Amino acid sequence: MSNKVPFLIARRYLFAWRKRNAINLITAISVLGIAVSTAALVILISAFNGIEFMIDRMYSDFDSDLVITPVNTKTFEEKQIDFSFLSNKKQIKSYSRVIEEFVVLKNDKNWVNAKVMGVDSSFLEICKLKKHLITSGLRTQNSSYFSYIGGALLYKLDVKKEINGDWEKVLCYAPKRDLKIRVGKNPFYIKEFQVQNAINYNKEVNEEVFLLPIDEVRQLLNYDSELTSINIDLVDGVDAHKVKQQIQKKIGKEFVVKTRMEKNELIFKTSKSEKMIVVLILLFVFVLSSFNLVSSITMMFAEKTKNLVILTGMGLTKNNIVALFFFVGFLISLIGVLLGLFLGYSVCFFQLWKSVLMMPGTSEPFPIVLKLLDAIYIISVVVLLTIIFSFLTVRFLVRRRFVDGLLKNNIFQ
């Protein structure tokens, strides 16, 4: 008998439903269970893609592509780094020297802890500062001075604009190094800075960072040529890991070079781990819902016994019977997967279109990112699992000699 016959019969069994038939109800439940599981996978994977994209967007602008830091010390001397190597490397668009130190800021009666960052003017381009200013306006092109404070710091210090339109000045208290505490001895370097604007990146930057020129911070901290890190911006499309290895080889083991993702490794790993856990839970739920598929195949097998008598007389073999009910399970799963993909992507597109669901505590819509590889992954996993369930179910029926028993009793003759 032709190999197409079992498939055609399976299609006939599946779509030629009778009214008030328990098998039809179980089959519908099987399709619905697979559809709901598939739709949930589509929605949640797309949502986690959106969260990963949002995290990357929040940290990618302020954090440079690569950062060089010392391994065993907080600071290092400029002469330890061959800056001509960085300047001549074609893959590097720009770099900035950086000094970081925790300080205390004061405005009137308001005191806050902050992290002052002394940077080169090139850092303003690296961190795409213009996109993240809370108010319009940037430093004048003729001035080498700039002063940008995190939005949350601005609010806590209650820094206001004066009558002439300038922001108020803030006092910066920086701890003195290697200072022996004595009565009457001031433990801080104190310097006043004129705030020019506020920045808005992410919670960490907004609550901590005070951006200043590197020379101003060196005067504040009484540094000569010390640095805490070097931030590097790469040309678009360049392999960051490859450039990282080349720089690491050049600067030696006293320094470590990290990519943006390595610098925020915990955040990205946590997001990916949560995504993996949710996907595994949904796959487990899908496995549970697949038991309805097993019931559908088993009950349809029992119901169609009389039909098999006629078909066996027409030349249907034992292998054909196995293939027939395997195709029944495959078609049930295929319908469920297609329906689930339609439902899942409909919800995703509706969220992208109407922004129904908002991020808690914000006015931003919950992010959704659709990827073709995710759809291929979902279809592959779901279809593979249902094929396995269908095959094992039919194989179990054969092993229990449901088919052999009918043949021995000459029911098919």
**% residues pLDDT > 90 (the chain):** 35
**% residues pLDDT > 70 (the chain):** 86
Report which DSSP code applies to 365: B
Could you write out the DSSP letters of every residue in 55-90?
Answer: HHHHHHTTS-SEEEEESS-S-EEGGGS-HHHHHH-T
| Closest among 234, 260, 252, 240 to 81, alpha carbons compared | 252
d(CA 111, CA 107): 7
- Tally Cβ neighbours within 10 Å of residue 335: 17
| Closest among 98, 205, 217, 214 to 150, alpha carbons compared | 205
Angle (CA) 206 71 241, round 5° = 75
Flag the least confident range among 60-69, 77-86, 362-371.
362-371
Residue with tokens 């190094």: 177
With a cut of 80, say whether residue 407 has pLDDT above it: no
Report yes or no: 98 and 227 within 8 Å, Cβ to Cβ: yes
Question: Which pTM does this prediction carry?
Answer: 0.69
pLDDT for 141 equals 45
Flag the least confident range among 22-31, 66-75, 114-123, 130-139.
130-139
Instruction: Note the residue count of the chain.
Output: 413
Helices marked H in 197-264 — which ranges? 203-208, 214-221, 240-251, 260-263
Task: State the average pLDDT over residues 90-116.
Answer: 93
With a cut of 60, say whether residue 19 has pLDDT above it: no
pLDDT for 410 equals 46
- Tally Cβ neighbours within 10 Å of residue 235: 13
Question: What are 39-72's pLDDT values in tens digits?
Answer: 988 998 899 888 888 877 777 788 899 999 999 9
If you average pLDDT over every residue of the chain, what do you get? Answer: 83
Task: State the average pLDDT over residues 405-411.
Answer: 50
